[in-house]
């Protein structure tokens, strides 16, 4: 098994030579992260993947944001279908070749069509949810859950891009996702976008509910709270692993 080097982390940012299958825009992203025991994550990811570490530490992330102008490569976007909200719970992993990426434990979404397509086409654990933005509050309530998660956040400070090798680079600059089919076969997907322009986030209100829905226990205060106004994204199809 190969652990990612800095060169490996930089290499996955390169634009693939093949054509994307979709285009999207990700806006108003809040990146909240907590330190968590490595074994808590390792036992919940499939064989063939290993927890990715930064200076010996493991991180669990919670990311609410806006999905905008989502469309297949050959079709225009439609306002009633292409714009919606999403919130994901994630950890950071790498494969046996040392390629770093994201493992999603859940992705809450208020667009039913997007949920079904993502489950089937990308084998991702999307969940139906009621979500809204009212009075600058971002709300998410997953189907069959009683709790509503609420987030109130805004950018604070200078906008910058992450320095390679920094914690911010480790948490933000992720261009591969890993998923597993119903038969346990691993798949890898790639995205491409410019490095996130980000700043510190001023978080007035946050909820741990999405982490609790996935069975995680963390301290109340995240160790990192960052925000990006957004990036345009190209999405590439899944490839078989192994």
Question: How far apart are the C-alpha atoms of 12 and 100, rounded to whole Å?
Answer: 8
* Residue 153 structure tokens: 């956040």
On whether residue 177 sits in a domain, the answer given is yes
Q: What pTM value is reported for the model?
A: 0.96
Angle at 185 between CA 179 and CA 188, to 5 degrees: 40
The span from the first CA to the last CA of the chain, in angstroms, equals: 13
The CATH number linked to 108 is 2.40.400.10
> Residue 152: which H helix or E strand, with range?
strand 149-160
Q: Count of residues for the chain?
A: 242
In what helix (H) or strand (E) does residue 121 lie, and over which residues does it extend?
helix 112-122
pLDDT at site 207: 97
Q: Which domain holds residue 133?
A: 6-240
Is residue 166 domain-resident?
yes
pLDDT at 156: 96
Phi, psi of 23 (to 5 degrees): -125, 145
pLDDT for the residue 76: 76
Among residues 36, 83, 84, 81, the alpha carbon closest in space to that of 62 is found at 36
Whether 27 is in a domain gets the answer: yes
Would you write out the chain's pLDDT as a tens digit for each of its 242 residues? Answer: 789 999 999 999 999 999 999 999 999 999 999 999 999 999 999 999 999 999 999 999 999 999 999 999 888 778 778 899 999 999 999 999 999 999 999 999 999 999 999 999 899 999 999 999 998 899 999 999 999 999 999 999 999 999 999 999 999 999 999 999 978 799 999 999 999 999 999 999 999 999 999 999 998 799 999 999 999 999 999 999 97
Number of independent structural domains in the chain? 1
Question: Is 182 domain-assigned?
Answer: yes
Q: Two tokens at 60?
A: 């669990």
Residue 1 covered by a domain: no
Looking at the domain assignment, is residue 84 inside a domain?
yes
């Amino acid at each position: 098994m190969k652990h990612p080097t800095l060169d490996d982390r930089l290499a996955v940012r390169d634009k693939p030579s093949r054509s994307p299958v979709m285009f999207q825009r990700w806006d108003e992203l809040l990146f909240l992260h907590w330190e968590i025991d490595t074994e808590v994550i390792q036992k919940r990811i499939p064989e063939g993947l290993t927890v990715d570490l930064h200076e010996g530490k493991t991180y669990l992330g919670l990311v609410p944001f806006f999905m905008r102008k989502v469309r297949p490569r050959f079709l225009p976007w439609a306002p009633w279908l292409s714009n919606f909200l999403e919130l994901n719970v994630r950890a950071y992993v790498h494969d046996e070749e040392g390629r770093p990426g994201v493992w999603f434990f859940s992705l809450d979404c208020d667009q039913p069509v997007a949920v079904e397509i993502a489950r089937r086409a990308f084998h991702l654990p999307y969940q139906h949810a009621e979500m809204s933005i009212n009075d600058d509050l971002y709300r998410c309530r997953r189907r069959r859950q009683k709790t509503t998660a609420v987030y109130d956040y805004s950018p604070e400070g200078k906008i910058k891009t992450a320095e390679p090798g920094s914690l911010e680079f480790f948490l933000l600059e992720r261009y591969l996702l890993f998923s597993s089919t119903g038969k346990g076969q691993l798949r890898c997907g790639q995205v491409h976008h410019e490095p996130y322009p980000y700043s510190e986030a001023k978080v007035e209100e946050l909820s741990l509910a999405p982490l609790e829905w996935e069975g995680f226990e963390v301290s109340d205060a995240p160790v990192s709270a960052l925000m990006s106004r957004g990036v345009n994204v190209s999405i590439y199809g899944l490839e078989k692993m192994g």
